[in-house]
Chain A
Amino acid sequence: MTDGVPTWEEVARDHGRFMYTVAYRLAGNDEDAQDLVQEALIRVRRGLERYEPGSLQGWLARIVTNVFLDEVRRRRRRPTAALPDDPERVLPPSPGADEVSTQLSDDIQAALAALPEEFRVPVVLCDVADQSYEQIAASLGIPVGTVRSRLHRGRRMLRTMLSEGAA
């Protein structure tokens, strides 16, 4: 690291797993997560020239999120699957007939993936990437109050889904 700016190798070595985790929790599946990380690392490499030392993981989380949201917007223009546009009608994940989910983390991941993006992104940035409300607001270009309310609604939806899934 020079003057607080990491080398590309340091980013990959020390934070590759973090970036992949954030991407996976946003995208909900490995295939999309891989694409997200690949694109994000391209942007990281170019962005390192302009990077000002600060919260490195915050910066990396922001890049992964931007790539994710760019892809979401692209897919909305060419929808490949029906996306719920009314957040109040989120459906809880329903496992297949012969699918037995014994791992709690699978259930939580499925519930996360079922959240609309506007709620999932703040939850992932806060509870997976450990970002502050201010950092999340800056990443998403929304006021801190909006971060707070979306985060809270996202968490309540998650809890509802988890309790219904367990019932």
Chain B
Amino acid sequence: MRRLARIAVAVGVAAGLAVVVLPIARADDAESVLERARNATVREDFSGLVQIEWLTDGKWKTARVPVNGTGGTVQVGEGTRQAEGRGDERWIAGVSGWQAGWDEPVSGAVPAPSTHWDLTLGKADPIAGRTTVVVTASDPDTGTARLKVYCDKDTGVMLRREVLDHRGHVVRAVGFVEVKKLGGSRATAPADPVTKKSVKQQDPTPDKIADLPAGFDAPAKVPGGYVLAGRYLRDDGTVQLYYSDGLFGVSVFEQRGDLDWNGLPHGGNGVQIDGTSGRGYEVAGGTVLVWDRDNVARTVVSDATVADLRAFAAAFDDRTDHSPGIVRRITDFVLGPFGWS
């Protein structure tokens, strides 16, 4: 999967003009940029404004969120809508106050991005006033770029993540629109955020499980490069799975029973998943598909495109082993204006 890319350089003329230079680096340089970005917001102090953009029913929606990081604690939002992360702990603020969302280390390994994707590294236009490099992840079968990750050249912090559909169009993005502070020395010791009262007293983290209850599925791999990285049982009996292909994470929630359609949130679109009717939503948090089959209701969430998530869902449902090439070709079909039909 790794390729050496040719390096092309053009030098500017002496009148002070600089011609665009786009060094194309090895895939492992791109991978190290991604790896560095994974933890950069924990290493570096920062503050700014992040914007989430997503296409839904052909129309763009946006939301802006103030963010900051101090001493390894990442905070997003303000007022009655906030979340905070420090180490393995996650806290979410709701109307009734702070609640714990997670408090244990995760051990499941995610694949290296270059396992499934072709990566290239290049320069990009500045984002929020910062000099930026961009890692482009392309489908090895089609050469189409499907994800772009823009990182601050200096600190490695991810400045923007763009998800592209199979035609190469951006359909979702999250990134800084304003950077007030990024990097620099840390003046004080990190504050301990664990003074927030948890409204719910029970363990917030779903239990890691080795064996699934009868009737549930958790294939170790799902065609398309996805590897199981977490398997949990929630307090209400829901099985929670986390898959990753190195760049896209997909959560699968499985519940025993048939779907109560009238209980689903209103809105969304009807969607077909391998011959079964389901419902899909595009929201700030990603694409969500809900369907049921054989007395198990499944919900999948990811920031992948609708078409890719449908392909994941169909592959997950189907016990037959598909080759990755077949899954990609299914995904690449134009399935409808917004991929729902």
Q: Which residues of A contact B (CB under 8 A)?
A: 1, 13-18, 21, 55, 57, 104, 130, 132
Contact = CB atoms under 8 A, between A and B. Distances in A.
Interface in B264-305: 266-267, 270
Given A1-B270, A130-B267, A55 B262 contact: no
Contacts of B216: none
Given A17-B262, A55-B57, 7 more contacts: A13-B261, A14-B270, A17-B266, A18-B266, A18-B267, A21-B266, A57-B266
A50 B266 CA distance: 24
A13 B259 CA distance: 13
Contacts of A132: 59
Report whether over half of chain A's contact residues are helix, strand or loop; otherwise say mixed: helix
- Among B57, B261, B266, B270, the most chain A Cβ lie within 10 Å of the Cβ of B266
Nearest to A10: B270
Interface in B224-267: 261-262, 266-267
Contacts of B57: 55
Contact of B267 (A1, A13, A57): A57
Contacts of A1: 270
B335 to A, nearest CB: 14
A1 B266 CA distance: 18
A14 B261 contact: yes
A26 B267 CA distance: 18
Contacts of B266: 15, 17-18, 21, 57, 130
A56 B95 CA distance: 32
19 contacts: A1-B270, A13-B261, A13-B262, A14-B261, A14-B270, A15-B266, A16-B262, A17-B262, A17-B266, A18-B266, A18-B267, A21-B266, A55-B57, A57-B266, A57-B267, A104-B95, A130-B266, A130-B267, A132-B59
A55 B56 CA distance: 12
Interface in B49-76: 57, 59
B95 to A, nearest CB: 8
